[in-house]
């Protein structure tokens, strides 16, 4: 059974930093596209960043230069380092894995999801 278990998140003031992590179980971790998404009430799930088996990364324009996605295949984890956080980054953040190789930040392309973790940025 494929599972993604998240940790990290919390509350921070504008300009601060947080790191999210996501551990994967039940699949060959280093062969799957992995990503971070976020969602606020009443809005669509937004792709934040994704990382691929070949090391390619993709970022939403709104987080480029501030967020960094990375993976530790030995530790079966991905991370999202979030720097210079802004109030508009406030959301529930989810990690996700795709069942096939697709370069995408579209939530519909990802099949397995973590439980979510709240990030709140105050001004």
Residue pLDDT, tens place only, 41-63: 999 999 999 999 999 999 999 99
What per-residue confidence (pLDDT) applies to 7? 96
Q: How far apart are CA 60 and CA 83, in angstroms?
A: 15
Residue pLDDT, tens place only, 79-93: 999 999 999 999 999
Q: How far apart are CA 69 and CA 41, in angstroms?
A: 24
User: In the predicted model, is pLDDT for residue 75 greater than 80?
Assistant: no
What per-residue confidence (pLDDT) applies to 119? 98
Question: pLDDT higher for 101 or 83?
Answer: 83
The residues, any chain, with a CB within 8 Å of residue 104's CB and separated by 6 or more, are 33, 47, 50, 58, 98, 110
What per-residue confidence (pLDDT) applies to 3? 93
Residue pLDDT, tens place only, 17-34: 999 999 998 888 788 899
């Amino acid at each position: 059974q494929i599972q993604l278990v998240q940790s990290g998140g919390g509350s921070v003031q504008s300009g601060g930093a947080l790191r999210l992590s996501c551990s994967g179980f039940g699949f060959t971790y280093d062969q799957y596209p992995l990503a971070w998404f976020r969602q606020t009430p009443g809005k669509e799930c937004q792709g934040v960043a994704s990382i691929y088996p070949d090391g390619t990364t993709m970022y939403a324009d709104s987080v480029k230069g501030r967020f960094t996605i990375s993976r530790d295949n030995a530790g079966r984890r991905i991370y999202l380092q979030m720097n210079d956080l802004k109030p508009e980054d406030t959301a529930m953040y989810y990690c996700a894995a795709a069942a096939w190789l697709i370069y995408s930040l579209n939530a519909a392309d990802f099949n397995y999801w973590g439980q979510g973790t709240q990030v709140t940025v105050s001004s």
